[in-house]
Structure 1
């Protein structure tokens, strides 16, 4: 009896201990640090490239010298002007070459002061110009020149005429790249238009020039 109980106890102990001995040991591993984690991106304030097409608006003041063979010379008559411009440019190193066209509406009118005088107005001007500039990062300084065109209306005591005057324009300006697409600038332009002979019941001659100071805002594509 005693031997039977001892054998049963030993058998039970063996059965209980066998799974524990057979079980795989439990191990713990520390997670490896992630490789190639994203680094913070550094954004540099790069100057704009001046190559490409652009379009914009401008506004300013014109100072007109108007001469005719009836009333003589009227100097520095002020007029407001505003309009649009468009062009394209190519940057090579720091040199910026371009071509630009513009058109402006003006409110210049030289009133008739006596019965034999002429009333002269210049409702619009336009130009096609070349540009040569030098870029200093965000800033470009340029000279410009080309063909100028203007509409002139002349009224005498008995008749009126509208004609187109041709001439040339020269000037200089600066532009500052606010962003890669927006540029703010200012420029001075000198327009000189040809002398014309008019017949308005009698023969007249007139000649005009204009100095323009204007601000401009351009969007670059």
Structure 2
């Protein structure tokens, strides 16, 4: 009798559960939301051409006395680098190298220093370049970035007489220092970019020998550059 009652109760519960389950409306599982895919990625190698203007300051010292020159002029050259943008992130990092010919030289006649009397001294910059790390924040096709690294320049010191007793000669070196700056870049198309940037460079102090006379020169530069680049695909 107990077995019969127990079996009947189980059957009743199972039938009731089946009836309730039949009455529950069915819903299809909602599809998982797809991760947003950025419309543009900065990842990939690139090359470009750049042009701008540079303002340099050379702090020269000879025989314990100082005098300065202020070379300035147009700069034109090229750059190449690689960017990496993290997935679904606006963070962009990269490395870039550039070089430019600087068409600028200025001179100032020195005072009556021993060995530099009646002499005009010129600081001439032939080329300047840098190898820099870049860190940026992307607003889709716009990139705001900062950059810094190693800077170098061909620094030439020339002297010519302005009167009797002056000296003539020249000496040059590859000055090495550091640079820091920043800019804004835009992707005009999927492959063409345009940018404008400012940089400050300190090329350090170097010693020169001009016709046996010693001169020490500390060179810095402020520069504004405009560039147009070509970005290769990230799989290149």
> Which range, TM-score by smaller chain?
0.7 to 0.9
Structure 2: where are the runs of 5+ without partners? 1-37, 111-117, 160-166
Q: 2:78 aligned to 75, 84, 88, which one?
A: 84
Give the alignment's TM-score, normalised by structure 2. Answer: 0.71
2:189 is paired with a residue whose SS is coil
Task: Return the alpha-carbon distance in structure 1 between the equivalents of residues 51 and 39 of structure 2.
Answer: 26
Match of 1:190 in 2: 200
Residues 17-55 of structure 1: CA distance to partner in whole angstroms, max 9, x if unpaired? xxxxxxxxxxxxxxxxxxxxxxxxxxxxx7421000000
Q: 1:175 aligned to 173, 185, 196, which one?
A: 185
Q: 1:132 aligned to 109, 123, 135, which one?
A: 135
Q: 2:104 aligned to 101, 108, 113, which one?
A: 108
Task: Return the alpha-carbon distance in structure 2 between the equivalents of residues 84 and 197 of structure 1.
Answer: 29
Q: How does 1:3-42 map to 2 (within 5 A)?
A: none
Query: CA RMSD of the aligned region, Å?
Result: 1.5
Match of 2:216 in 1: 205
On the 8 A contact 1:47/1:177 being kept in 2, the answer is no
Which stretches of structure 1, 4 residues or longer, exceed 3 Å deviation after superposition?
Answer: none
Structure showing greater Rg: 1
Residues 40-93 of structure 1: CA distance to partner in whole angstroms, max 9, x if unpaired? xxxxxx742100000000001101111111561235x43100100000010011
Task: Return the alpha-carbon distance in structure 1 between the equivalents of residues 204 and 55 of structure 2.
Answer: 17
Structure 1: where are the runs of 5+ without partners? 1-45
Give the alignment's TM-score, normalised by structure 1. Answer: 0.75
Alignment of 1:50 with 2:42, yes or no, is yes
